[in-house]
């Protein structure tokens, strides 16, 4: 059974969603994500479990119910949606899933097909008159990315089929272990960074263009669109192989037709036992209702077919040596220990660092430098050190030395909580705090990049964000590389920042547990910085997405930020007040033309909206009473579709969601447009 850590607060849930979104976005961009499949799956399962218990806290960016976690992009529509698979993680869950499928059917499943779940990138290969015409990634399931340029490097994907037919083969492109090692030898020889693992190597290679070297990949077909729809799945695989495409039938983990669930479980165990010896990576075993009749009867959902499931395989523990402990200071002054490990390959991923959580965790586990330690990846956001192998100690191990002063600034450490913190808090990392505050989605102060922030802090001119608003022309001109023009431009940008919307000012404070979306909600709920400062935890808990635990953290953070907030108010920053947008007593909805609406914006905006950034569009939506989201789902009620709207528009049309042009949307929210 896969071990997972449950999400126990809205803060941990929001962090998990953010991690999953980042991981999916990285993987579907260039395959660079550090999360393994099992880690991502476990994270999403925890997110799903939390959302089932707290349906009122579901975040718009949540990856649940979305193909590829909602992160993939593409502009080539699929002929038929290219779905994901639901997952189970144990024999018991697989048996429950099979029983549920038979309840849907009202009878036993006629037969099952069991095959390996290949660990690569799902693609669709389109053939015209038997010739390969186009190769497309799965994308978001409705549209994918054209990667036809890569077809010459993919083995097992014939350029000409055995028959001159129109068909679309669907399958997985991956790097075998030999191909992975060859690829990294080539990359190193050309001065490139080696791939971290075969899966990300396949994703990156398929998207790469104009490399000075050629990396071979391998294709395995598992489905087809355009062949006889009455074929059972096992017969369909044989038909595909007869056309000349590669399938898993050529491997030791070949698909097998099973009569009973007991036979299915046995074949799953057989394939799992072959895992280490296979020449390619698998992250599970796929179980499907074999007959077309059974598949047609139960159909598919918006994300996955109901007649198939992936039985995911548990990740492995590995043993390596704890070489050291680094103490890193975060933006809010929290001092976090990180284990430095003798690099170890865990389920295809090289692990060099792992979390140690906090000093109390180190003490609780009894860790020492030089220990042989268990490192575990599955289910964690990042790898973690589990326990030392005490019996393997040689006597050369050394105690882990905890810092006596802040490793960043040398000041005192507050050790009263499990998470140690520099007593200077944000002041310890003033540069990081200022760089965050002046970002485009916060105060948007152009010309205040990292090096300039360092200059201002080192010169003693700025200790926090509020100090930016009393900088003088003379002070700036005295700095290196600050001429008259750059000085005047920076001062103008700072002056413009005084009138930023409340949501952006609040976001610039960097309060733990808040970000752009939550900051807009807080601003809309309270209407002024004074009201925000006066609010207690119970009042903050009324804001959508903030539970009482996160509310207490926010109140404590605001108390700590009191001097900064005083200075901001004195300098006219964030003082503008608006009418709070509270839930209407009768309807439970927010006031405004978008009350109760979940709105997604896609494509290039035109007309009155042309100059608005995506963040400014989200601010507009929330001023008008709606909730901004980044992905289309069944919860979406309105799509604003600009030029080149792509797959989001197609999905909205499929779901019957209202679609407006930028001009029509601008008319609907006219009273809330900037300057209205």
At 272, list the tokens. Answer: 């799992």
Distance (Å, whole) CA 162 – CA 252: 25
Helices 516-526 and 614-623: crossing angle in degrees, nearest 10, is 30
Give the E-state strand segments of 108-193 in sequence order. 112-118, 121-128, 131-137, 143-144, 154-155, 167-174
Contact indicator for 555, 537 with CB cutoff of 8 Å: yes
The token pair at 673 is 């447009």
Report the candidate in 454, 463, 555, 564 with the shortest Cα–Cα distance to residue 508: 564
Please provide the DSSP assignment of 388-407 as one string. E-GGG--S--EEPPPPSS-T
Taking CA atoms, 159 is separated from 130, 213, 216, 570, in Å, by 8, 21, 15, 70
H-state helical runs in 426-578:
430-437, 450-458, 473-477, 484-497, 502-508, 516-526, 529-534, 537-540, 548-560, 562-570
CB atoms within 10 A of CB 6: 10
Distance CA 104, CA 437 (A): 53
DSSP bridge pairs for 320: 373
Torsion of CA 446, 451, 456, 460, to 10 degrees: 160
User: Is residue 364 classed exposed, middle or buried when 0-12, 13-18 and 19+ CB atoms within 10 A define those classes?
Assistant: exposed
Comparing CA positions, the residue from 77, 63, 46, 75 lying closest to residue 630 is 63
The helix/strand/coil state of 461 is coil
Question: How far is Cα 321 from Cα 371, in angstroms, rounded to an integer?
Answer: 6
Taking the C-alpha atoms of residue 400 and residue 549, their distance in angstroms, rounded to an integer, is 32
Return the structure tokens found at 278: 């296979």
Which residue is associated with the tokens 């300057």? 675
Q: Are strands 154-155 and 217-225 parallel, antiparallel or unpaired?
A: parallel
* Catalytic residue (choose from 66, 117, 288, 651): 117
CA-closest candidate to residue 84, choices 237, 305, 312: 305
The yes-or-no answer on residue 651 being catalytic is: no
Q: Give the number of other CB atoms < 10 A from CB of residue 460.
A: 8
Closest CA to 144 of 493, 576, 647, 666: 647
Within 10 A of 32 (CB to CB), how many other CB atoms are there? 15
Query: Is residue 156 a contact partner of residue 168, using CB atoms and an 8 Å limit?
Result: no
Which residues does the annotation mark as catalytic? 117
């Amino acid at each position: 059974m896969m071990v997972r850590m449950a999400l126990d607060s809205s803060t941990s849930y929001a962090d998990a969603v953010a991690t999953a979104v980042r991981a999916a976005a990285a993987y579907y961009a260039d395959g660079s994500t550090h999360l393994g499949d099992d880690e991502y799956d476990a994270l999403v399962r925890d997110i799903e479990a939390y959302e089932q218990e707290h349906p009122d806290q579901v975040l718009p960016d949540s990856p649940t119910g979305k193909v590829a976690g909602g992160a993939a992009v593409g502009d080539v529509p699929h002929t038929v949606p290219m779905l994901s698979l639901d997952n189970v993680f144990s024999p018991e869950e697989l048996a429950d899933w099979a029983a549920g499928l038979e309840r849907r059917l009202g009878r036993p499943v006629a037969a099952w097909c069991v095959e390996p779940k290949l660990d690569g990138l799902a693609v669709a290969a389109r053939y015209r008159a038997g010739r390969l015409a186009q190769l497309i990634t799965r994308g978001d399931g409705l549209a994918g990315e054209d990667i036809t340029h890569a077809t010459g490097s993919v083995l097992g994907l014939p350029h000409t089929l055995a028959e001159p037919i129109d068909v679309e083969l669907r399958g997985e492109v991956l790097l075998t272990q030999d191909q992975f090692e060859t690829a990294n030898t080539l990359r190193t020889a050309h001065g490139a960074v080696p791939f971290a693992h075969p899966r990300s190597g396949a994703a990156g290679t398929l998207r790469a263009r104009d490399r000075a070297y050629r990396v071979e990949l391998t294709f395995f077909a598992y489905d087809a669109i355009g062949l006889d729809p009455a074929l059972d799945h096992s017969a369909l695989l044989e038909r595909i192989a007869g056309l000349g495409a590669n399938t898993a039938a050529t491997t030791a983990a070949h698909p097998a037709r099973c009569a009973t669930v007991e036979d299915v479980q046995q074949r799953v165990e057989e394939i799992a036992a072959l895992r280490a010896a296979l020449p390619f990576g698998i992250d599970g075993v796929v179980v499907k209702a074999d007959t077309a009749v059974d598949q047609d009867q139960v159909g598919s959902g918006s994300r996955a077919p109901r007649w198939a499931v992936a039985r995911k395989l548990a990740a492995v523990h590995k043993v390596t040596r704890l070489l050291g402990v680094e103490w890193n200071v975060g933006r809010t002054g929290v001092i976090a220990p990180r284990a430095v490990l003798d690099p170890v390959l865990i389920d295809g991923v090289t692990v060099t660092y792992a979390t140690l959580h906090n000093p109390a965790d180190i003490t609780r586990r009894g860790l020492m430098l030089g220990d042989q330690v268990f490192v575990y990846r599955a289910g964690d956001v990042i790898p973690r050190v589990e326990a030392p192998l005490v019996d393997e100690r040689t006597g050369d191990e050394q105690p882990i030395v905890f810092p006596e002063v802040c490793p960043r600034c040398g000041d005192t450490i507050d050790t009263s909580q499990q998470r140690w913190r520099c007593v200077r808090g944000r002041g310890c990392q003033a540069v990081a705090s200022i760089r965050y505050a002046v970002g485009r989605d916060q105060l948007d102060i152009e010309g205040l990049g990292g090096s300039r922030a360092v200059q201002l802090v080192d010169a003693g001119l700025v200790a926090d964000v509020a100090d930016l608003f009393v900088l003088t022309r003379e002070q700036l001109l005295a700095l290196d590389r600050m001429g008259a023009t750059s000085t005047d431009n920076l001062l103008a940008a700072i002056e413009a920042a005084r009138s930023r919307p409340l949501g952006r000012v609040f976001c610039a404070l960097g309060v733990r547990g808040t970000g752009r979306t939550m900051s807009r909600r807080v601003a809309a709920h309270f209407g002024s910085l004074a009201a925000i400062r006066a609010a207690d935890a119970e009042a903050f808990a009324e804001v959508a997405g903030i539970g009482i635990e996160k509310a207490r953290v926010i109140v404590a953070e605001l108390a700590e930020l009191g001097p900064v907030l005083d200075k901001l108010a004195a300098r006219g920053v964030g003082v503008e007040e608006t009418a709070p947008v509270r839930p209407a007593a009768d309807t439970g909805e927010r006031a405004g033309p978008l009350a109760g609406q979940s709105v997604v914006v896609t494509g290039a905006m035109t007309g009155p909206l042309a100059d608005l950034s995506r963040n400014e569009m989200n601010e507009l939506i929330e001023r008008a009473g709606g909730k901004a989201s980044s992905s289309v789902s069944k919860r979406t009620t309105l799509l604003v579709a600009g030029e080149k709207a792509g797959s989001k528009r197609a999905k909205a049309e499929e779901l019957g969601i209202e679609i407006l042009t930028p001009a029509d949307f601008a008319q609907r929210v006219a009273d809330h447009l900037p300057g209205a």
